[in-house]
Structure 1
Amino acid sequence: MYSDANAGNWINVDDLTFTSGTTGLSVKGSDISSLAKSEALGGVYRTSSGTTGDALAILKSSGMNYARLKVWVNPADGYNNKTRVLAMAQRIKAQGMKLLVDFHYSDTWADPGAQTKPAAWAGHSYSQLKTDVYNHTYDVLNALKAQGTTADMVQIGNEINGGMLWSEGSTDNWAQLAGLLNSGYSAAKAVSSSTVVALHLAKGGDLTGTRWWFDNAVANGVNFDAIGLSYYGYWHGSLYDFQTTLDDAAARYSKPVFVAETAYPFRLDSDDSLVNQIDTTGELVSGYPASTAGQTAWLRDVMNIVEAVPNGRGLGVFYWEATWTAVTGNGWDPTDATSGNGWENQALFGFDDKALPAMSVFSHR
C-alpha cells in the first residue's frame, strides 16, 4: 500500500482484502548441472512420500517449468560439456520444461573469483577469442536446435562481475569485454532470434556495483535482453538491498530481471566428509533458521520480491543446484574424484533423498 501522507502521519483503511496474486512468475526453475553425474554414480531421488523417481519429473510435478544447465568447454571429468548438455536437454524438454544454457567459457568453474580461459583457447589473441566465443556458443546452441531442443534462454558468461576470459575480457578493458559479450550474443541470435540472451552478475544486493557494471555495458554497446543476478542472502546483502537492486536494474535498463541463482540450507551438518559452505548459525540470515521451514520461507520471500518488480519485469527464480546431493565421486572439483560436495545441505532433496517442502513453493506462484 502507498500513501502520499507526510512521514509519520496515520492513514485509515477500511475493507482491506488480500487475494492471491494473479501475475505469477514465468520462470520457476532450478540449476540441475550436477544431476547427470549424480545419477551415473548412483544418486537416487524420491518424492516427498518416499517413492523413487526421475528427479526431473519430481521437479516438474512440484511446479517447476525451467531448468538451467552450465556448459564447460572441455571439463576434466567429461560432464557439463556439449555432449552431456545435449543429452540432458532432451530430458528437460521431454518433461515440457524450458531450458537455460549457462555458458562459463571455461573448462571449470567461472565466478567472480575465477574466469579462466579454456585450455584450448590459451594463448589466443583477443581477436581469436572473439571468434572462439562465437564458434563455441553457436556450436552448442545450434546442436541443441538441430535435435529439437532449442535453448529458451542463454547466459553469456557466469557471474561475470569482473568480466570473463581473463585477462583479455576483464572489466579493466570494457571495450574488449563488450566485444566478447557481443560475439556470444550474435551467435545465440544467429541460431534462434527468439532465445533470450542474459548477462549474469553475482551482485544481488549491490545496487552501486550493479549500476556500475551495466552502465559500462550500455556505454560500450553491449547487447542483452535480460539481467540475471545471483542472490544468496548470507553473502549478498539484505532482502531490502536485493529488492532495491532488482527493481532499480529493471527500471534503469528497461529489461526483465531474474534471479539466476539462490539457495538456502535446510540443515547445517554434512552428509559427506567435506565441510559445507554454510555450516554455522552465525552465517545464516536472521529470521531464517537452517531448517526445512527456514529454507521454504527463504525461497518464498525471494520469489515474492521478484514477482513484485514493477511493470511485470520480474521473470522468476532459479534455485541453484537443487539436485546436488551427497554422492561419492560427484564433488565440486572435476579434476578430483575424491573432492566432496559442500552444498548438499542446500539442495531441494534431503539427506534421505526425499523432495523437501521448499520445492512446493514453485507450485504456488
Structure 2
Amino acid sequence: MNMFIKYIKGIKGFALLVIMILASVGCKKTIKGETQLYPEPDAVGTYAKGADVSWVTEMEAAGRKFFNSAGEQQDLFKILKDKGINTIRLRVWVNPASGYCNTADVLAKAKRAKAANMRVLIDFHYSDTWADPGQQNKPAAWANQDFTTLKASVRSHTVAVLTTLKAENIIPEWVQVGNETNDGMLWNDGKASVSMKNFAELIQAGYEGVKAVDPASKVVVHIANGYDNALFRWIFDGLKANGAKWDVVGMSLYPTAADWSSKNTQCLANMNDMVTRYGSEVMICEVGMPVTEAVACRDFIKDIMAKNKSLANNKGLGVFYWEPQSYNSWNGYKLGAFDDSGKPTVAMDAFLP
C-alpha cells in the first residue's frame, strides 16, 4: 500500500511539473504586467487585419466622435481593436497645406497605435496631397529639382520621417514607397509609361531609405485594381528589369455588391501570380464598399481575407479597410464602414476572430 501511495504521488508530482512547464511556456507577462496567452494576437508575424485611419485627427478636430456598437463613446483605436483590427495604416504627405498627414501628425497617430499595441504600416505619397492613379504630383518643394536631386529627396524624406518615428520606438512593420502607382509617381519624371527606368530608380531610392532606417521594415509597392493582372505584370516586370527592389506587392480593391465575388476571384489569380512570378508577399492595402452595402461588404472582406490567407508559403499578409471610421459622408467619402451615428456597421464584423 505504501508503495502504491508513493507511485500515485509520483504521478501527481510529474503531472504538476508538466502543467507548470506548459504554463511558463504558454503564458507571458505584458509590459503592463497582465498575463496573456502566447503568442499575442497582434504579435509580429500574425495576419494583419488593418485600417487606414489617417483622417482621424482631422475628424476629431472637427468635432466628430466615435461610438462602439453599443452606442458608447470611445477612442477610435479601442473601437477598432475590439473589432479585431491589429494594424494601423497612415499616409504621409510632404508639406500639406492643412498640416494633416505631415510628419508631426503622422507621429501623433502612430503613438496612439503603439499605445493600443497595434502594428503600423506607413504609406508615403511623395506629394503634398493625394497621390493615386489619376494624379502623382510632385511636392512643391521638389517641383524644379533635376532627376538626381529628386531621387535624393525621395530617400531623405523617407529617412527623415522613419527616423522621427524610430526616435519614439515606433518601427513600421511595412512601408509603402508610393501610393497606387499604376503609372509611376512624381510625374512626369517618374511616370512609368514615359520612363519605367526613372520610376524604378525612384522606387529604389525609397527602398534604400526604408532599409537605412531599419532593415526589418518590409517595402511595399502599391498598385490599384488588384484584379488587373496585366497591369501588375507590366509594373513589376518593369521594376524588376530596371533593378528596383521590393518585398511586398500591395493592392487596392474596391468592388460593389454586384461584382465583389468575380473581382475577388480575379484578385486571387493575380495574387497567386505575384507569388509565383516574383516570389513576393502580397497585401491588400485598401478595401472599401459603399456604406449602404454593409452586409455585402462584410462578406466581401471575409472572402478576400480567406483568399489572401490561402497563398502558398504564408505569402498573404493582410487586408486593410480604407478610412472605415468616415461617416456622414466625411469629405464626401461614402465607402466607410461606420453608420451615420458614428458606430461600426456589420462590415467591420468581418475582422472579428
> Normalising to structure 1: TM-score of the pair?
0.81
The answer to whether the 8 Å contact 1:266/1:294 transfers is no
- Structure 2 gaps, min length 5: 1-44
**Letter of the structure 2 residue corresponding to residue 50 of structure 1:** G
**Letter of the structure 2 residue corresponding to residue 300 of structure 1:** K
**Letter of the structure 2 residue corresponding to residue 352 of structure 1:** S
Cα gap change, 1:326 to 1:76, in 2 (>3 Å):
farther
Q: Which structure 2 residues correspond to residues 85-124 of structure 1 after superposition, within 5 A?
A: 85-124=106-145
1:178 aligns to 2:192 (yes or no): no
Counterpart pick for 2:311 among 263, 286, 309: 309
**2: distance between equivalents of 1:350 and 1:109?**
25
Q: Which structure 2 residues correspond to residues 36-185 of structure 1 after superposition, within 5 A?
A: 36-171=57-192, 172-185=194-207
- Once the 2 structures are TM-superposed, how far is the Cα of residue 25 of structure 1 from its aligned partner? 5.9
Relative contact order: is structure 1 or structure 2 higher (C-alpha 8 Å, sep ≥ 6)?
A: 1
More helix per residue: 1 or 2? 2
3-state secondary structure, aligned to 1:33: coil
Q: Which structure 2 residues correspond to residues 226-265 of structure 1 after superposition, within 5 A?
A: 226-234=248-256, 238-265=263-290
Instruction: Give CA-to-partner distance per residue, 1:243-270, whole Å, 9 cap, x none.
Output: 1111111221101101011111231xxx
Instruction: Give CA-to-partner distance per residue, 1:83-122, whole Å, 9 cap, x none.
Output: 1001110000100000011000001110011000001111
3-state secondary structure, aligned to 1:60: helix
1:193 aligns to 2:215 (yes or no): yes
**1: distance between equivalents of 2:270 and 2:255?**
13
The answer to whether the 8 Å contact 2:326/2:333 transfers is no
**2: distance between equivalents of 1:295 and 1:209?**
25
3-state secondary structure, aligned to 2:352: helix
**Letter of the structure 1 residue corresponding to residue 207 of structure 2:** Y
3-state secondary structure, aligned to 1:199: strand
Instruction: Give CA-to-partner distance per residue, 1:51-85, whole Å, 9 cap, x none.
Output: 00000111111111100000001111110111100
- Once the 2 structures are TM-superposed, how far is the Cα of residue 240 of structure 1 from its aligned partner? 1.6
Q: Which structure 2 residues correspond to residues 19-34 of structure 1 after superposition, within 5 A?
A: 26-34=47-55
**2: distance between equivalents of 1:255 and 1:351?**
39
**2: distance between equivalents of 1:27 and 1:342?**
24
3-state secondary structure, aligned to 1:238: helix
Match of 1:361 in 2: 350
- Once the 2 structures are TM-superposed, how far is the Cα of residue 46 of structure 1 from its aligned partner? 0.5
Counterpart pick for 2:233 among 211, 216, 226: 211
Match of 2:333 in 1: 342
**1: distance between equivalents of 2:263 and 2:348?**
23
**1: distance between equivalents of 2:325 and 2:174?**
21
Moved over 3 A (4+): 234-237
**2: distance between equivalents of 1:39 and 1:54?**
10
Instruction: Give CA-to-partner distance per residue, 1:179-223, whole Å, 9 cap, x none.
Output: 111111111111011101110001301111111111111111111
- Structure 1 gaps, min length 5: 1-23, 268-289, 332-340
The answer to whether the 8 Å contact 2:197/2:239 transfers is no
3-state secondary structure, aligned to 2:318: strand
**1: distance between equivalents of 2:207 and 2:252?**
20
Counterpart pick for 2:324 among 279, 304, 322: 322
3-state secondary structure, aligned to 2:250: strand
3-state secondary structure, aligned to 2:291: coil
Cα gap change, 1:162 to 1:232, in 2 (>3 Å):
same
3-state secondary structure, aligned to 1:228: strand
